[in-house]
Structure 1
Amino acid sequence: MPADVSATHPDVKYSVPVALHVVDRPRLYDLLDLGAESPVTLVSASAGWGKTVLLASWLGARAVERPAWLTVGPADDTPDTFWRAVATSLAAVVGAPADALLRRVADDRSGTDLADRVADAVRHVVGPAVLVLDEVHQITSPEVWTGLHRWITAPPEGVRLVVLTRRDPPWPLHRLRLAGLLAEVRASDLAFVPPEARELFALVGVELTTDQLELLVRRTDGWAAGLRLAALPLRAPGADVASFLASFSGDDRTVTAYLQSEVLEPQSERVLRFLEKICILDLVCAELADAVTGDDDGAAMLAELSASNLFVQAVGEGGRWFRLPGFVTDVLRSRMVEPRARRDLYRRAAEWYRRRSLPEAAIRLALAGGLLPLAAELVGVHDVGLVLRGRGRELDTMLAAVPRDALLAHPELAAGLAGARMVYGRDEELADLIGAAEARLEALPAPRARRVRLVLDLIALADARLRGDLDGLAAACRRIPLDPGELAELGLAGWDLVRVLTLSNQGTAELWLGELDAAEVHLRAATEAEPAVGLVLPRVNALAQLALLECARGHLTLARTEARAVVARATATGSAPTIQVVSAYLALAWAHLDSGELSEVDPWLRKAEEVAAAAPEPHVALTMAVLRAHRRAENDPEAALLGLQTRTRALAPSVVPARLLDRSLLAQAELAVQLHDPVRGRSALAGLQAHDTPEAVVALAGMHLLEGDPDGAEQLLAGLGGGPSTVRTQVATDLLWALAAAARGDDEAALGSLDRALHTAAPHELRRPLTARADGLRRLLSRRIERGTGAAAFAVELMSRLSRQLDPAPDPARRTPTPLTPRETVILRYLSSTLGNSEIAAELSVSINTVKTHQQTVYRKLGVGGRREAVRRARELRLL
């Protein structure tokens, strides 16, 4: 099997082929022009009919604007690789805004809805563009064909599609014809007519009579390859045209035999030897030709053969790369009967690509040549880099073609295939592949065995992450070395990617297991250690987890800022719908919830749920359930508690760690407090695995308060020792101290503790721990505002929330006759504090005269003459 190296040379894969020494064919150009009336033009004919040359010359002759070209290869035979390649091709020609959308698809490694996203992006194309898909018969994936069919049946206006293939695609062609969606160019159209054949022969200096020309066209049915082959002997001096025409039939079988005996055999030994060696390659350049042949005349030979326009054809701009026509390589490869010589050619080609750090092409050539030991060594060195840079499906395609017994006999091949499949969630034969790799590790030299062991540890890491096994994920990460020197010694290409991936996942596991300080160390190291070229998703994952970590600590404003930056980056790189971004969505939902910005919670929860539906992780599901319950409790705490209990029971049998199950139980206890139900609160706390965490102690202290036992609450809070570790627990602790002191009648202690809670919560806009205790807090907060506080603006705004929460609809009879405007209401709340007018003006960023004007209006509407009387009257009217 020849190696497909076009993916290694994007300048070739996406370049319009060079059309030299070609016949101008206006009748076919007109046919292609007419095809613009349909969304797709199908050019279907077997090898040698000149499909590629026709399209290349048509684009030039008609000066077609914005032509995009994609030469399809075996590596494109999956939906994600195919549509990423299509997006790359189109992005280079369509212009804004479609180009940015297409580049996001091209960079997206999630493989999610890429066909639809390409179609949506193309609908933003302004003006006509043409996309040529060459060699489409290489595609076997039904999903790719289905995506192309959807494109045709719902065609975007901005791009016309031209498909070049040796076989008809698996589409309902008759229905597409009837619907006017399909234009076609067939072999009968591509066949040379006598005037075109005369021009073809004239290009090589051959003159034939009209009868001779028409006979030759009939013999070949106008087949371009047959005519070109026939032209070679006819241009020789003194050629016997009549004898030649008598023996030349022009059909495939005859042309093959003719190619063997009359075209190849007469070539010099030097040319023939060169052709027989380079025919293993789909693409060849001078340097590669020299490596394969062992000579140093590759450049001269390719130039000489290109001039004949038969044996090699220039591909792409610059004239550096050449391709042998298929009908020539088929014959040449059939002549390679010596297995050892054949293997040696493939080995030389593979080694050439390896030396140039092009491992994918090297592996393909090694496998094509049956060089499994070499392929195994290459895979062992390069599989991690290929997989982590998004080439897992291509590696899967290559290795899946190896006979099973041979594959399992080579640990590096088995582990490489397992790793390729694990990274995109394909679990087919994973256990067998991993078992085979582990069973044969001892047969490998020590350095190679260590590389395979690392790959197996990375597979265990990915498996644990997919299953939500955070303890298993942490354990797998600990087995992988993080020291750059130790990793580099393995001789593994992409070792720097391994470090980033491991740091990101280790920090992720620690975060969800509640080890916040250790998590921060590893996550920040992951963001700083990213290589210049390589992974996007592990860095996105680390940044998203850091945003969630800040939210867990209570740093809500910082969490929102960091999470929004992650979402913007993920959107720009096409990774927004991946599990690596979920934590950013959760952080935004959580931060808005705890800030009291309830309308902003649901959109972020929906985004998290959309991703989790495709890639479910139990710890994410439980966290979403907790956040959803707190959101629902704003209107119906009873339903919120019951729903959370049901969801937690459903997730408990999974691998959710005890720390996360405890988080759900603590949330249930908090909801029970809102319902004034200490029985259910105690029941939830009894199920905790860890009773000595600050969160558990604070929750139990809150239960004592609910039961009318402030002394018991204070005794528990005093036992916290070194003090709370996060803003959240600090605010909750100070608040409970305040409420307990107030319950004992110690107003001074209560006001002091409340002031500490306000000072801690205000910079982070952390409101929910305070509003959750609205019943006991409002009177105390009102007195705190009257006595003064350094967090006056936060306290006044919080008081407004508590008033709306506890008195959503005041008695109309007690309302002020002339309602206050929103600005006047704000001024009234500040009047209840100890701030002077200049301080109020500074808080509101207005002038002192504006404050005085609103102040006088408030007095007038309330029917009072001063500040103290205004506050008293506002309380009577329940405006404060």
Structure 2
Amino acid sequence: MLPRSTFSERSGDRLPLRPAHLVARGRIDGLLDAGASHPLTLVVAEAGSGKTVAVSDWAARTDRRVIWITGGDARPVAERVRELAIGQAVSGPPPVLVFDEEHGEPFTAPGPGSVDDLLAAIPEGVSVILIARPTPTLRSHRSRLGGNVAVIGSSDLACTARETLEILARLGVVADRHAADRLHARTGGWMAGIVHAGLRAREATSAGGRADAPVDESAADDPRLREYFAVEFLEPRSDDDRRFLFGTSVVDEFDVPLAEALTGSRDAGRRLGELSRAGLFLEPVDGDPSTFRYGTLFRSYLRSRFALVDPDGFAHVHGKAARWYADRGDGRSAIEHALAGNRLEYAAELAAALWPDLIQAGELDGLKPLLSSIPVDSSRDLDLGIALAALSLQLEPDHRSAERLREVHAAMRSSVAADSPARLLLDVLAARAAGDAEGTREAADRLLHTGTAGAAATLQLRSLLLSFVGTTESWTGDVFEARAHLREALALADDAGSTWLRFIATGFLAEAEAKCGDIPGSLHRVEQTLRAADRHGWMRSSAVGAAAVMGALIATLQCRFDDAAALVDVAEAATRRPRDRPERAAIALPRLVLLVSEGRVADALDEIRRAEAGLRSWPADPVVVDTLDAWKLRLLVASGRTDEADALVKDAARGPLMWSVIARLYLDRGDARAALAAVAAARETQTTVFPSVAMDIDLVHALALRAAGRTAEAHARLEAALDLGEPARFLRPLVSHGPLLATLLAAHLAHGTSHAAFVAEALELMAPTSGLAGAAAPEPLTPRERQVLGYLPSNMSHEEIAAALFVSVNTVKTHARSIYRKLGVDGRRAAVARARELRLLAPASLGGLDLTRPG
């Protein structure tokens, strides 16, 4: 019979002490409850996973009788279970026997000590919970499948993000959910890692340090974890095992051939099996039994320890990894390991040799580490590698990319020949970063005619450079040149067989096609770009940002506001990091339309200010600047901020849309002659062929002609606007002019038009106002009052009506009060009902005007 001191009842005080950081883990309790209904439950995981903590917490609360048996007896568990039964140490209700922390390997072979042997030893009604570090080898899967064995493993014991936050709180660490989420991701939910990080953070905070230390600092810097890993995992292993662990830790993932190449081992498969059974944080990648990785913290510890105890060996193994990946065409990983081994020349050599492959794989940003690792004034022959790394910064820039590019360019101008390919490439990038379209073209042309690259590289480099040239031209308004260069870039990408280069050119072509007036072509490019990005995982790229912005802008013009909002989200995600300023500013155009459609005028003005700040001193597309100015003027007037509106009119460079808004303001004041003069100025400044711009000018022109009594000319000009709008289905320019244009459209239907269906669709989005004959009101309404009346059936606020009519909010409120008085009612709803009785408004079945979400 076993000595009494080797086990304890649940009700006694001999269960393991419950730590201060213990948190309720109902899901683990549920697993143990279910496991206790089996003869055997295996709780197997790495040291520090919280195995004993979880089981002892459950034991302290369960209704089952629990006998806790500590380790220290080398005999197989099956033998001890038999002894307990024979010696009648088990008395009373059938208990749960918990055997804690078996450090040996009692289940590594069939026969005595195997799982099946243990199952045969367990008396009926008794449950055994075995807490063990090595993973037991089940001799027969029938034991598990037959419901005799339950297994609770590392993934079950891993803490959730919520539990991570609760553990930190129990340790007295104040951390927000984002910090806890980052710590959870870094530790993989490993309890010991979370606790050690929390203790360190508590000490750092007490000493005046940072509360976010557990997230921002690596495990290798934590002395507790270093000691824990060394004592629990590394020191018990043989020298050969330690060399194997160090060698394989330099890569994130590895299979048997790579492990053998890195370590020189000829039995990597066997050793991996042993290390996995020993609970050394070694796990298959995505369930693939042929590919392995270490847990994040353990890998970090192994790398730092390897670099400390054998720096030459650390560099040498990284060099092996670089050659391995280079031989298999993985340029990104090869360059990464060459740099980690401080082999700068080799990294630059790889960059120069493998950049076409990186382009093909859409991984040119993998060159960025090269630039950050090499001194810009290096005397080594690294110029091409540096230039290619700088090239990658243009594609996936971070917050220091522009500054770093300037540093590199300045250094190379003083040390590298002007006709060097690297120097010319830097000239291209520097000109593009400054928005210098002509400089970008000239430098690209010189580079493309140096004749230094091979045929395949020339195709790919030429495609990429032409995409750079085209985007720069598009930003600065040279839209037809931009389209030509981007189409050529696309053709070269096809010739080179590069999916990624095709994707880049297509995304920027979506923008250029629209600016050249081809809306169907642009939408086709948008669809192509988003499909390719989704298929290949390229959603966070400049090309997606450009395509999504243009798709969103077109959607707002077609009154597809839900689609526009979704595309704005895509564009924002693609340009979340600091990038080219024109792209970031362009997002403001569809976004501010959405804000205005929701009545958020103040937010829309803030959006414009942010876009203007981003474009300051930048040679941006004049159409973008003009559109922002026009919207700003319109919203300032609607907000009653007349002084600011007057200042804008005086100071802004007046483009066609700005003149169009000014013309509309003159119309609203009853000055048709001034409106016609403003329209003439709009036509003189119009250089874009984007359909909505020309369409808006034609619509204002038609309204001005009608106000001047030139009805026939008004209908002709309106038909010209519809000729532009219907092919692209641009409804918003019609709807935005409200009841004043609705009256003219209704008359235009009677007059005769080739766009009857399109006009009818627009009128469904607009409530006809004065076009229906009917009884007169007790007191006639003024023209402006009739306009305001046309908006009352909608859900639009006074602010939204003001924005639509280009007047102040106070003006709308004044007209509304006058309408109520003249109709003899005391509110908006009653005014609408009375106006319909008098046939001043269309019947309710025709709907009211509501610009918030038409359609």
TM-score scaled by length of structure 1: 0.49
Structure 2 unaligned segments of length 5 or more: list them.
Answer: 1-41, 55-102, 109-131, 143-154, 163-177, 203-224, 273-281, 293-301, 779-835, 847-855
C-alpha separation in 2, matches of 1:632 and 1:336: 59
The equivalent of 1:512 in structure 2 is: 475
C-alpha separation in 2, matches of 1:523 and 1:595: 26
C-alpha separation in 2, matches of 1:578 and 1:623: 15
* CA deviations over 1:500-540 (Å, ceiling 9, x no partner): 43333332222232222222223333444436999766654
Per-residue deviation, 1:762: 1.9
1:685 to 1:475, Cα distance in 2 relative to 1, 3 A: farther
CA contact (8 A) 2:775 2:839 kept: no
2:744 paired with 1:780: yes
2:443 paired with 1:479: yes
* CA deviations over 1:4-50 (Å, ceiling 9, x no partner): xxxxxxxxxxxxxxxxxxxxxxx9989899999999xxxxxxxxx99
The equivalent of 1:834 in structure 2 is: none
1:504 to 1:60, Cα distance in 2 relative to 1, 3 A: farther
- Choose the corresponding residue for 1:795, options 759, 766, 769: 759
Per-residue deviation, 1:772: 3.3
1:58 to 1:780, Cα distance in 2 relative to 1, 3 A: same
| Paired residue secondary structure (1:657) | coil
2:634 paired with 1:667: no
The equivalent of 1:862 in structure 2 is: none
CA contact (8 A) 2:397 2:578 kept: no
What pairs with 1:549-564 in structure 2 (closer than 5 Å)?
549-552=512-515, 559-560=522-523, 562-564=525-527
Residue 184 of structure 2 aligns to which amino acid in structure 1?
R
- Choose the corresponding residue for 1:425, options 398, 422, 426: 398
CA contact (8 A) 1:473 1:505 kept: no
- Choose the corresponding residue for 1:655, options 609, 612, 618: 618
* CA deviations over 1:80-110 (Å, ceiling 9, x no partner): xxxxxxxxxxxxxx9xxxxxxxxxxxxxxxx
CA contact (8 A) 2:768 2:841 kept: no
C-alpha separation in 2, matches of 1:570 and 1:436: 36
* CA deviations over 1:104-145 (Å, ceiling 9, x no partner): xxxxxxxxxxxx9x999xxxxxxxxxxxxxxxxxxxxxxx99
What pairs with 1:77-476 in structure 2 (closer than 5 Å)?
149-151=183-185, 225=238, 376-382=348-354, 386=358, 389=361, 410-412=382-384, 414-415=386-387, 423-425=396-398, 427=400, 432-442=407-417, 449-450=420-421, 452-457=422-427, 459-460=429-430, 464=433, 469=434, 471-472=435-436, 475-476=439-440
C-alpha separation in 1, matches of 2:770 and 2:600: 15
Residue 456 of structure 1 aligns to which amino acid in structure 2?
L
Structure 1 unaligned segments of length 5 or more: list them.
Answer: 1-26, 40-48, 66-93, 95-115, 121-143, 154-159, 176-182, 192-220, 230-251, 257-277, 293-300, 310-314, 815-871
C-alpha separation in 1, matches of 2:320 and 2:686: 68
2:549 paired with 1:586: yes
Per-residue deviation, 1:479: 1.6
CA contact (8 A) 1:669 1:681 kept: yes
1:602 to 1:679, Cα distance in 2 relative to 1, 3 A: same
* CA deviations over 1:404-455 (Å, ceiling 9, x no partner): 9867674456546655666442638665544444433249xx8xx42x2254
The equivalent of 2:508 in structure 1 is: 545
* CA deviations over 1:573-600 (Å, ceiling 9, x no partner): 3333444322333234322322234455
What pairs with 1:487-526 in structure 2 (closer than 5 Å)?
489-491=452-454, 495-526=458-489
TM-score scaled by length of structure 2: 0.51
CA contact (8 A) 1:366 1:372 kept: yes
Higher relative contact order (CA 8 A, sep 6+): 1
| Paired residue secondary structure (2:436) | helix
| Paired residue secondary structure (2:672) | coil
The equivalent of 2:805 in structure 1 is: none
* CA deviations over 1:660-689 (Å, ceiling 9, x no partner): 333322334556798999998786455454
- Choose the corresponding residue for 1:760, options 707, 713, 724: 724
Residue 415 of structure 2 aligns to which amino acid in structure 1?
R
| Paired residue secondary structure (1:575) | coil
Per-residue deviation, 1:729: 4.1
The equivalent of 2:710 in structure 1 is: 746
CA contact (8 A) 1:645 1:668 kept: yes
* CA deviations over 1:301-352 (Å, ceiling 9, x no partner): 998999999xxxxx9999999xxxx99xx9xx99999xxxx99x99999889
The equivalent of 2:673 in structure 1 is: 709
C-alpha separation in 1, matches of 2:186 and 2:258: 42
CA contact (8 A) 2:702 2:715 kept: yes
C-alpha separation in 2, matches of 1:684 and 1:334: 67
CA contact (8 A) 1:385 1:494 kept: no
CA contact (8 A) 1:666 1:684 kept: no
C-alpha separation in 1, matches of 2:740 and 2:268: 92
C-alpha separation in 2, matches of 1:674 and 1:373: 62
Number of aligned residues: 595
| Paired residue secondary structure (1:619) | helix
CA contact (8 A) 1:508 1:542 kept: no
CA contact (8 A) 1:556 1:765 kept: no
C-alpha separation in 2, matches of 1:169 and 1:535: 48
C-alpha separation in 2, matches of 1:591 and 1:875: 36
Q: RMSD of aligned C-alpha atoms?
A: 6.9
CA contact (8 A) 2:398 2:577 kept: no
C-alpha separation in 2, matches of 1:359 and 1:335: 24
- Choose the corresponding residue for 1:596, options 546, 559, 566: 559
Moved more, 574-583 or 386-395: 386-395
C-alpha separation in 1, matches of 2:199 and 2:609: 49
CA contact (8 A) 2:660 2:678 kept: no
1:60 to 1:566, Cα distance in 2 relative to 1, 3 A: farther
* CA deviations over 1:56-76 (Å, ceiling 9, x no partner): x969878999xxxxxxxxxxx
Per-residue deviation, 1:764: 1.8
C-alpha separation in 1, matches of 2:141 and 2:363: 33
The equivalent of 2:832 in structure 1 is: none
C-alpha separation in 2, matches of 1:597 and 1:389: 35
| Paired residue secondary structure (1:614) | coil
1:407 to 1:170, Cα distance in 2 relative to 1, 3 A: farther
Per-residue deviation, 1:355: 7.2
Residue 725 of structure 2 aligns to which amino acid in structure 1?
A
Residue 666 of structure 1 aligns to which amino acid in structure 2?
A
